[in-house]
Amino acid sequence: MKKHLDIGGKLVEVDVYPSGGLDLIVQGRGIKTARTDGDGYVDVDNPTRVLEDLRESGCSADIFTFPELNPDEGARNGYPCEWESIAALPLKDFDFWWNKQIPQETRTGVRKAEKKGIRVEVVQFDLELVKGIQGIYNESPVRQGKPFWHYGKDLATLEKIHATFLGASDFLGAYLDGELVGFMKLVYSRHCAGTMNILAKIQHRDKRVMNALVAKAVDVCSRKGVPYLTYCMWSSGGLGDFKTRNGFEKRELPRYYVPLTIKGQLAIALKLHRGVRGILPPGVKAQLVRLRSKWYSAPCRA
């Protein structure tokens, strides 16, 4: 079976292999890796069953990878793994987050958003929402010092991209005078709610839209009894500071890499399974990010 996924800003056709209610996709050229469709948001409860299905299906993958989604869980099986740093916010209730987990600066930001007229609510996924998201995406071709991969996409493409996991998702919309100026997509698993998308218009940065979105997410998740809200990988720099100010903590969780072929075994042994990004030292990657940011922010490229 084939499926189109948004990878690096392009819809790419990938192979899909059903297994125990999960859809597995295979990506890569020299080294092919299988992972769940929704990797990082979908629990893999029975990896042994998945591995058996992959081997019986004639799948061309060399490696099967999946992460642990429970921030309270360590390595839970004997499969080879590497540790990843995620941003996780332990949830008790909104008042606890407001009074105990965030600094005064963040509370001021949430209040400022409200005073500036920002209203955040759970919204239905429909064409009107997609049009609003398109308006946010098309505000600038460059974000965070690099080309923004959703810039210029048509409505049909954006609808396909955001229509995933609708049965296990909530969309939060931040509005100013009826205009969508920010949004967040929450995807629920058994152990947490993950922020699959969160973005706001640059022109309204002074209104602290992002703070308002996180506050609403905490309220929604707390009412549902969700134990954790996660915000992708742990970050440094400005985004890392934002996560810290909103109560997120650094948690180390295992990501499993199970070789399916001899090529896969060699790739893992030689640390080739993560590609070039996984090989480069952190200092080199940080320098390359700074150079990229300077390149795209240069006046001649504005």
If you count them, how many residues does the chain have? 302
Report long-range pairs for 287-290 (Cβ below 8 Å, ≥24 apart).
289/145
Residues 160, 18 share a domain: no
Residues 282, 244 share a domain: no
Residues 168, 221 share a domain: yes
Residues 152, 274 share a domain: no
252 touches 72 (CB < 8 A): no
Residues 152, 236 share a domain: yes
Residues 212, 100 share a domain: yes
Residues 143, 54 share a domain: no
Residues 94, 12 share a domain: no
- What is the pLDDT tens value at each position of the chain, 302 positions in all? 666 666 655 666 677 888 878 889 888 888 999 999 889 898 898 898 999 888 888 788 999 999 999 888 877 778 889 999 999 999 999 999 999 999 999 999 999 999 999 999 999 999 999 999 999 999 999 887 788 989 999 999 999 889 989 999 999 999 999 999 999 999 999 899 999 999 999 999 999 999 999 999 999 999 999 999 999 999 888 899 999 999 999 999 999 999 999 999 999 998 887 765 656 555 655 565 556 555 555 554 44
Residues 36, 17 share a domain: yes
Token look-up 């954790």 returns 228
Residues 243, 100 share a domain: yes
The CATH number for 226's domain is 3.40.630.30
Residues 154, 242 share a domain: yes
Residues 139, 238 share a domain: yes
Domain residues for the domain of 50 are: 2-83+255-301
